[in-house]
Chain A
Amino acid sequence: MSALYAVRDLSVSLPGQGFLGRLLPGRLLPGAPARIDILQGITLALAAGETFALVGESGSGKTTLARAMLGLVPVSGGSLHFDGVALGSARAFAGLRRSTAMMFQDPVGSLSPRMTVGALLAEPFVIHRRPLPLPGRAGRAAQAAALLDRVGLPARLAARYPHELSGGQARRVCVARAIALDPRLVIADEPTAGLDVSVQGEILNLMTGLGTALGIGFLVITHNLAMVRHIADRIAVLYLGRLVESGPAAAVLARPAHPYTQSLIASEPQPDPRRRRADLAIRGEIPGILRRPAGCAFHGRCPRAEAICRVTEPDLRDLGAGQQAACHFAPGQ
């Protein structure tokens, strides 16, 4: 399978924490690491047109991964390939930006506050010098109206400023901006955060509807497993900046191999109280990325942890049928 976007062995690290860490270069400060690994050894392949879900708790590195994939965060190792082209040069990223789009977690905050919705929607066409239906101002207005219509918003919203929109409207404007240039991949960071359930459903239906109609692939970042079940073809689970499990969404959700995935599924709100699994539900907090445990990073919270987990870090192993997990006790060894 030739991937649309291939991430190989990606790592992202940031300079050490704190004022002293920044002031003193290298390892002059005992105890504080010079660089903090936010992501390590991430390998993913997104096929064209598929919906890929990235799940994990807050602080697991989901958003950083998405930002690194768009060149918003400097990468410290590994390689990124979009459509077969290695992303390294500014020219390669410019090419990437023509055919990808990002939807941020905070829809109002991701719209430039002093621009009207109409100007924001016409902007991608202006930047990439795409032909407009009419020249000049009228063409930009017509394009904005057409985009608003595609996401089911009335054309009069074009005159509004972002802070005058409701959460759902702002989301739809972000969707419209994302699909403006017929991208091949849309990265959506928590596309349903902050919306009430009925609006969440409408936004998801809108995204998947447009996705199938236009052949857009999605990388959806979420911790909402119900949503993953609803829309995702494949899934990857991140824990403390590393991939712990990946595979076809249906298979992973039905037979999770990694205890972390099992705990995530068990922690999901369950309408039927008899089906709750308190024994598997996740315990404790995600340890800080600065205090990454030795061995398997999950061993402190894992119900199945044994001596080996505290010493050796498990590798991602193939479990068959495209499923992979990084656990010493994953089935199918």
Chain B
Amino acid sequence: MSFAAEPALGATATARRPPPGRGVLGRLARDPMGLAGLVLVCLVVGVALFAPWLAPQDPTRIDVARKFQGPSLAHWAGTDQLGRDLLSRIIHGARTALSIALGATGIAGACGLILGLVAGYGPRWLDAGLVLVFDALSSLPMVMFAMAVITVVGPGTGTLILVIVLVSVPGYARLIRAQTLALKGADFVLAERCIGASGTRIVLCHLLPNVAGPLVILISMDIPVVIMLEAGLSYLNLGVRPPTPSWGNILYDGYTSLRFAPSMIIAAGIPLILATLGFTFLGEGLRDALDPRLGYGAPR
């Protein structure tokens, strides 16, 4: 090419890029669903972070004289069967829900990423072994498996996270493995081998950045599932232990008194629905904002 033509070529390349100053977040905010998701997630995360300051009362303070109260000025969301302030319990429950959801998906994502890369780029026997383990893990019925683990280890937040990690790692690892296998023979990987890059370097510097994107999306779409899972297992008395406020525990308590105090179910259900919707919308928005076809750092 002649260098007179150079600026023109450069200009077309720039025009294909998203407008300056608009990264993933900018593109996310332009999508109404993504924006709604972002706002809801920020709301839930903010409530969880500032729970001690936002909660009007101590979430575990028992006042049996005022049990099963409906919404009032003193208790905006009413009280539960032990007279504890529901609003405070829900605000603190956001903490429980998020720490379990983010903790479990974060650990599972990291394990899935490492195992997937090892299975995809490592020797064949290791790949075969890992795939066997993934298949075995994902063939177990989830609730049965959770009950078995909880019976052995004992219930609690840590056990809950362990179960969720064990259940979700195979899916993440399979996604990463499939992408790694697809990229393993790509020209740019061969080119890196030609210039003498070590296996570790190829995996960390060249494969990882190219396979991690879809995992971020999958994780953000799994967070609501995990929040529901925590609520469900807590509801079955397999999750968070009673004094700790959790949306699942509140739902369970509310279910037993549904007929005369429906406010408990409603009060715990609304934040659960909002958080689930928020993370789902955010996940879908992220998927669109990171879509390679929009030309964002895409492997063609």
Contact = CB atoms under 8 A, between A and B. Distances in A.
A313 to B, nearest CB: 32
Given A112-B206, A160-B13, A163-B298, A124 B1 contact: no
Residue from B6, B16, B186, B191 whose CB has the most chain A CB atoms within 10 Å? B191
A128 to B, nearest CB: 6
Interface string A96-118: 01101110111011111111000
A168 interface: yes
A152 B5 CA distance: 13
Interface in A287-310: none
A150 to B, nearest CB: 15
B1 A164 contact: no
A67 B191 CA distance: 10
Given A109-B187, A110-B188, A164-B13, A102 B300 contact: no
A127 B9 contact: no
Interface in B192-209: 192-198, 201, 205-206, 209
B261 to A, nearest CB: 55
Contact of A110 (B9, B10, B190): B190
A127 B195 contact: yes
Given A94-B196, A98-B196, A169 B188 contact: no
A165 interface: yes
A113 B297 contact: yes
Contacts of A105: 187
Contacts of B201: 127
A149 interface: no
Interface in A138-162: 152, 154, 156, 160-161
B194 A152 contact: no
B53 interface: no
B3 interface: yes
A169 B187 CA distance: 17
A102 B298 contact: no
Given A161-B297, A163-B300, A169-B9, A104 B209 contact: no
B157 interface: no
A163 B17 CA distance: 10
A165 B13 contact: yes
Contact of B295 (A152, A163, A199): A163
Given A127-B195, A127-B197, A67 B1 contact: no
A245 to B, nearest CB: 28
Contacts of B198: 127
Interface residues of B, number: 32
B129 to A, nearest CB: 19
B195 A104 contact: no
A104 B191 contact: yes
A123 B197 contact: yes
Contacts of A124: 195-196
A9 interface: no
Contact of B188 (A72, A94, A109): A109
Interface residue tally on A, bucketed by range: 35 or more
Contacts of B19: none
B1 to A, nearest CB: 4
B190 A101 contact: no
A164 B186 CA distance: 19
A106 B190 contact: no
A72 B189 CA distance: 11
A166 B16 contact: no
B188 A166 contact: no
A106 B300 CA distance: 12
A161 to B, nearest CB: 6
A236 interface: no
A23 to B, nearest CB: 14
A65 interface: no
A133 B88 CA distance: 62
A114 B209 contact: yes
Contact of B300 (A104, A108, A160): A108
A72 B190 contact: yes
A199 B2 CA distance: 8
A315 interface: no
Contact of A113 (B13, B193, B210): B210
B20 interface: no
Contacts of A258: none
A114 B210 contact: yes
Contacts of A156: 10
Nearest to A124: B195
A70 interface: yes
B123 interface: no
B141 interface: no
A110 B187 contact: yes
Given A104-B187, A112-B188, A166-B13, A128 B196 contact: yes
6 closest A-B pairs (Cβ-Cβ)?
A: A97-B196, A114-B209, A110-B187, A113-B299, A110-B191, A102-B194
23 contacts: A72-B194, A97-B194, A100-B194, A104-B187, A108-B300, A109-B300, A110-B188, A110-B190, A111-B188, A112-B188, A112-B206, A115-B206, A123-B197, A127-B195, A128-B196, A163-B295, A163-B300, A165-B13, A166-B1, A166-B13, A198-B2, A199-B1, A202-B1
Given A128-B196, A177-B191, 4 more contacts: A102-B194, A112-B192, A113-B300, A114-B210
Interface of A: 67, 70, 72, 94, 97-98, 100-102, 104-106, 108-115, 123-124, 127-128, 152, 154, 156, 160-161, 163-166, 168-169, 177, 181, 198-199, 202
Interface of B: 1-3, 6, 9-10, 13-14, 16-17, 186-188, 190-198, 201, 205-206, 209-210, 295, 297-300
